[in-house]
């Protein structure tokens, strides 16, 4: 269980090889942390990530998880609790950017991206949240994106998937708060990571480490939402009110 300083003992990272997710884990590690579980599709890559985290007093476990299978979330969470006890913090960082040339023309590709980015994230949140509600405590960090704040034509399926996750997480956070569970939505902008390699950086581009620093600070303050970098909150406060004909012509990628 979290101590008085809100330092978690047990952490579960969905998307166990995610650059942002791992940076958040590294940022919040303290001597109080006993176990970290990396849930990922590529177990070999997960083991390399685990080796970089593991030390004498910290258990780091890698478990298989594929976001294309939402039904996998509940047995995964049940297994983590059976092995490590109460789950203090879950970070939902799995997802794909997708190829807009494919997802905007192929219905199956569009549905597959939504399964990974939205359906499986909702399933993971409900699995984790149900467990934490029974415990009476826990934190859930949901990686959203500024792409979901106002979806761009450049990649509408990805943006739509993040908008869905974002809206769900806010409502679900309201539901579980009375049971001692805290849900926080993180809205990063463009992040230099493996997912964005080769893409042209957007304005206010940031790094996984910078996102992690903002996230952990906000988590310990019990905030419900955080933008990374924080300036994007002001930027999108303006952009969300731009008339549609103007919005379509903005050079936002």
DSSP per residue, 100-131? HHHHTT-HHHHHHHHIIIIIHHHHHHHHHHHH
Q: Could you list the mean pLDDT of each consecutive 10-residue stretch along the chain, which spans 253 residues?
A: 74 95 95 96 95 92 96 97 96 94 96 96 98 97 88 89 95 97 91 72 78 94 90 69 68 60
Question: Cα 120–59–78 angle (5° rounding)?
Answer: 40
Angle between helices 19-28 and 208-220 (to 10 degrees): 50
pLDDT at 172: 98
- In this prediction the pTM is 0.90
- Residues with catalytic roles: 158
Please compute, for residue 182, the number of CA atoms within 13 A of its CA located in the half-sphere on the CB side: 17
- Could you give the CA distance from residue 28 to residue 26 in angstroms, rounded to a whole number? 6
Q: Provide CB contacts within 8 A for 7, sequence distance 6+.
A: 28, 30, 32, 33
The C-alpha atoms of residue 59 and residue 109 are separated, in whole angstroms, by 37
Residue 219: per-residue pLDDT? 94
Strand partners, 139: 89, 182
Q: What is the pLDDT of residue 130?
A: 97
Here the tokens at position 65 are 């998880």
pLDDT at 142: 97
**CA–CA gap between residue 110 and residue 104 (Å, rounded):** 7
- Fold topology of 10-249: Rossmann fold (3.40.50)
pLDDT for 194: 72
Is the Cβ–Cβ distance between 25 and 53 less than 8 Å? yes
Residue 62, class by beta-carbon neighbours within 10 Å (0-12 exposed, 13-18 middle, 19+ buried)?
A: buried
Domain ranges of the chain: 10-249
pLDDT recorded at residue 178 = 96
Q: Is the peptide bond before 114 cis (omega within 30 degrees of 0)?
A: no
Give the pLDDT of residue 11: 97
CA dihedral over 195, 198, 203, 208, signed as positive or negative: positive
Q: What are phi and psi of 140, to 5 degrees?
A: -125, 125
For 237, residues 6+ apart whose C-beta sits below 8 A from its C-beta are: none
Quickly list DSSP for 69-80: -GGGHHHHHHHH
Which tokens go with 135?
């415990």
């Amino acid at each position: 269980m979290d101590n008085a300083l809100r330092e978690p003992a047990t952490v579960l990272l969905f998307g166990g090889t995610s650059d942002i997710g791992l940076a958040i884990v590294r940022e919040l590690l303290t001597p109080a942390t006993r176990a970290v579980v990396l849930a990922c599709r590529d177990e070999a890559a997960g083991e390399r990530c685990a080796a970089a985290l593991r030390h004498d007093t910290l258990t780091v476990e890698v478990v298989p998880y594929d976001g294309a299978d939402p039904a996998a979330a509940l047995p995964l969470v049940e297994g983590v609790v059976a092995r490590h006890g109460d789950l203090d913090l879950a970070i939902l960082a799995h997802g794909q950017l997708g190829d807009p040339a494919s997802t905007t023309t192929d219905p199956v590709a569009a549905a597959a991206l939504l399964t990974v980015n939205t359906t499986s994230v909702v399933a993971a949140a409900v699995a984790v949240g149900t467990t934490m509600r029974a415990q009476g405590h826990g934190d859930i960090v949901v990686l959203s994106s500024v792409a979901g704040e106002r979806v761009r034509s450049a990649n509408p399926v990805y943006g739509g998937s993040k908008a869905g996750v974002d809206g769900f997480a806010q409502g679900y956070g309201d539901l579980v708060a009375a049971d001692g569970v805290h849900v926080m939505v993180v809205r990063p902008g463009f992040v230099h990571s493996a997912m964005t390699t080769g893409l042209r950086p957007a304005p206010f581009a940031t790094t996984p480490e910078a996102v992690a620093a903002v996230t952990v600070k906000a988590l310990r303050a019990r905030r419900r939402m955080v933008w990374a970098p924080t300036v994007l909150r002001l930027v999108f406060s303006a952009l969300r009110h731009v008339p549609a004909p103007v919005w379509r012509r903005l050079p936002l990628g």
